[in-house]
Structure 1
Amino acid sequence: MFNGILIEKDEQGYRAGYTRLDEAQLPEGDVWVDVAYSTLNYKDGLAITGKGPVVRAFPLVPGIDLAGIVTYSKHPAFNAGDRVLLNGWGVGEKYWGGLAQKARLNGDWLIPLPAGLTARQAMAVGTAGYTAMLAVGALEKNGVTPARGKVLVTGANGGVGSFAVALLARLGYQVVASTGRQEEAEHLRRLGAAEIIDRAQLSAPGRALGKEQWAAAIDSVGSHTLANVCAGLHYQGTVAACGLAQGMDLPASVAPFILRGVTLAGVDSVMRPQADRVAAWARIATLVDGELLNSISREIGLGEVLETADALMDGKIRGRVIVDVNR
């Protein structure tokens, strides 16, 4: 028996609970993992609270991230004792995820824990930091360098945004952070933001083409914000889009794309090929340190997940939430 968060849906309704589970309940998989740490992401909050149609199979253990130690493997790439991590692949949505003490998984979804990172540190990074690293890579692939000018990060106090600010700053970029929580401005400056703007400047319907302000952007918000970001990019600017906190719609004009040659680069982290994952995580391990990870994260126990999910959905959580599943 082990502890976990279980989401159920039946004639009694939709509910999530902290409960005891039996190993016999675990789904099929060729790798067994003793989970050390997981995380609580925005997607996990939607799943646990039922505020978004995230969960597609019931019952289900949520948690789109996990890090731990292999206890049994039939997969050729892994052996008992290996340290591994997982992000995405529908885990925590279609398949049982990391918010439990044990997991049974498809070994193709796992990658080795990068040298230099502990399981806790990897979960301080989690899907949010991994997505931010992919977004930075998308900008670089399109020729964006620090010399090109300012880079805007929207949703800068969220998990992806916080990491995007920090990673860009460490790579020498001049970062403009957009946030609705001006009381967190000093925190964003400590992460490396050179300038802070209020998200209200971007969140309402705007002009089809605005003043050229940024060489590039990383957007985790979508909707009117993404439309205004595109409208404010320099000639041949690039925006890496990786989120939809404001909405899935894009009420934009083609003007930035056909008059300024702007590129809208989509960033998916869920189904990313294995080689991209390994490369992104290897790079993360060289750019982050304990001081950054401590400043950008907080730790809770598995028993605190349900109440913290409510706070996350209410916008009361800053940065990353690490979950120690063994307390």
Structure 2
Amino acid sequence: MFEALMIRHTNGATTTRLEQVDPASLPQGDVTVEVAQSSLNYKDALAITRGAPVVRHFPMIPGIDLAGRVLHSDDPVFRPGDQVLATGWGLGEKHWGGLARMARLPGRWLLPHPAGLSGRQVMGIGTAGFTAMLCVMALEDGGITPASGPIIVSGAGGGVGGMAVMLLTQLGYQVVAVTGRAQLQAYLTSLGAAEVLPREALAPTGRPLEKARWAGGIDVAGGEMLATMCASITQGGTVAACGLAGDMALPLTVAPFILRNVRLQGIDSVMCPRPRRMTAWARLARDIDPTRLDSMLHDATLAEVPDLAPRLLAGHIRGRTVVHLSASK
């Protein structure tokens, strides 16, 4: 038996609690992993507190990230004892995820543990840091360099936004961080932000084009904030959009795209192909600032996760929460 956080939906009600699970109940897959660390993401918090629509079927073990040691493998790429990680691929949504002491999944979803990073650091990065790196790579693909001008990052107090601020700073970009929490100014400055703006800086004005201020942007909010960001990008700039924390709708005109040649690049970290995943994780291992990363991290046990989830949704937790699956943190 192994301990897991289990979401069940019974008689119209969704419940989440710790359970002892029989390993024979694990879903299909060719690699079984002893999970050492996972993390608490926004999507995990939604699944834990609300169930559907994040959870596609019940019962479900949440956790879109996991890192640990291979126990058994029918995949020739991996052998027992290998240190591995997985993010995305429907973990915690359609396939039992990482908030458990054991997981079974297809070997093609796994990546080798990046050299030079601890398990805590890997899960501190997790989906948030992986997504942020994909956003940075999208800016680079658009030809945006540190010499191009400042980069604006929305939702900077969250996991993806904070990781983006840190990575961009480490790579030499001037970063403008946007947050709805004024108390995070010192924290965002410590991550490298050259300027911290309130959320109102991306409030809609109704104009198809705003003053051109930023060479590029990374947006986690969607909706009006993304529309205003696109309208404020300089000629030939790029915006990487990776979230919809604000709104799924996008109320903007074609003006930024046909008058300023702005590029809007969507980022999908869930189904990202393996070769690009490998590239992104190699970059993370090379480009991450360990000191700044550690300043973003909080530690939790599996038993603490149900109480942390609503706090994360309410914006009361900054940075990243690493969940340790061993008896102690």
TM band (smaller chain): over 0.9
**Alpha-carbon distance between aligned partners in 2 of 1:122 and 1:274, rounded to the nearest angstrom:** 17
**Alpha-carbon distance between aligned partners in 2 of 1:206 and 1:274, rounded to the nearest angstrom:** 41
SS at match of 2:157: coil
Task: Name the aligned partner's letter for residue 144 of structure 2.
Answer: V
Aligned to 1:3: 3
Cα distance change on mapping 1:51 and 1:258 into 2, 3 Å: farther
**Alpha-carbon distance between aligned partners in 2 of 1:205 and 1:78, rounded to the nearest angstrom:** 54
SS at match of 1:307: helix
**Alpha-carbon distance between aligned partners in 1 of 2:123 and 2:309, rounded to the nearest angstrom:** 17
Aligned to 1:36: 36
1:55 aligns to 2:55 (yes or no) = yes
8 Å contact from structure 1 (residues 39, 322) kept in 2:
yes
SS at match of 1:70: strand
In the TM superposition, 1:145-294 aligns within 5 A as: 145-204=145-204, 206-294=206-294
**Alpha-carbon distance between aligned partners in 2 of 1:51 and 1:176, rounded to the nearest angstrom:** 35
Aligned to 1:88: 88
Structure 1 residue 312, shift from structure 2 partner: 0.7
Q: Structure 2: state its 5+ residue gaps.
A: none
Residues 279-304 of structure 1, C-alpha deviation per residue, up to 9 Å, x if partnerless?
A: 10011011224312211110100000
Task: Name the aligned partner's letter for residue 193 of structure 2.
Answer: A
Aligned to 2:121: 121
Aligned to 1:133: 133
Aligned to 2:302: 302
8 Å contact from structure 2 (residues 170, 289) kept in 1:
no
Aligned to 1:110: 110
SS at match of 1:193: coil
Structure 1 residue 203, shift from structure 2 partner: 3.6
TM-score (norm 2): 0.97
TM-score (norm 1): 0.98
**Alpha-carbon distance between aligned partners in 1 of 2:100 and 2:88, rounded to the nearest angstrom:** 16
Q: Structure 1: state its 5+ residue gaps.
A: none
Percent identity, aligned pairs only, is: 54
8 Å contact from structure 1 (residues 156, 165) kept in 2:
yes
Task: Name the aligned partner's letter for residue 116 of structure 1.
Answer: G
8 Å contact from structure 1 (residues 206, 224) kept in 2:
no
8 Å contact from structure 1 (residues 222, 249) kept in 2:
yes
1:99 aligns to 2:99 (yes or no) = yes
Structure 1 residue 119, shift from structure 2 partner: 1.3
Aligned residue pairs total 327
Residues 106-159 of structure 1, C-alpha deviation per residue, up to 9 Å, x if partnerless?
A: 111000011111211100100000000000000000100011101000000110
Task: Name the aligned partner's letter for residue 64 of structure 2.
Answer: I
Task: Name the aligned partner's letter for residue 193 of structure 1.
Answer: A
**Alpha-carbon distance between aligned partners in 2 of 1:290 and 1:249, rounded to the nearest angstrom:** 36
Aligned to 2:313: 313
- More divergent stretch after superposition (10-19 vs 82-91): 10-19
Structure 1 residue 179, shift from structure 2 partner: 0.5
Q: Which runs of 4+ in 1 moved over 2 A?
A: 203-206
**Alpha-carbon distance between aligned partners in 2 of 1:10 and 1:326, rounded to the nearest angstrom:** 30
**Alpha-carbon distance between aligned partners in 2 of 1:149 and 1:51, rounded to the nearest angstrom:** 42
Task: Name the aligned partner's letter for residue 202 of structure 1.
Answer: L
**Alpha-carbon distance between aligned partners in 1 of 2:107 and 2:203, rounded to the nearest angstrom:** 41
8 Å contact from structure 2 (residues 190, 292) kept in 1:
no
1:22 aligns to 2:16 (yes or no) = no
SS at match of 1:299: strand
**Alpha-carbon distance between aligned partners in 1 of 2:272 and 2:205, rounded to the nearest angstrom:** 32
Task: Name the aligned partner's letter for residue 226 of structure 2.
Answer: L
SS at match of 2:276: helix
Structure 1 residue 102, shift from structure 2 partner: 0.3
Structure 1 residue 51, shift from structure 2 partner: 6.6
**Alpha-carbon distance between aligned partners in 2 of 1:63 and 1:116, rounded to the nearest angstrom:** 24
8 Å contact from structure 1 (residues 216, 239) kept in 2:
yes
Structure 1 residue 193, shift from structure 2 partner: 0.4
Cα distance change on mapping 1:141 and 1:172 into 2, 3 Å: same
SS at match of 2:194: strand
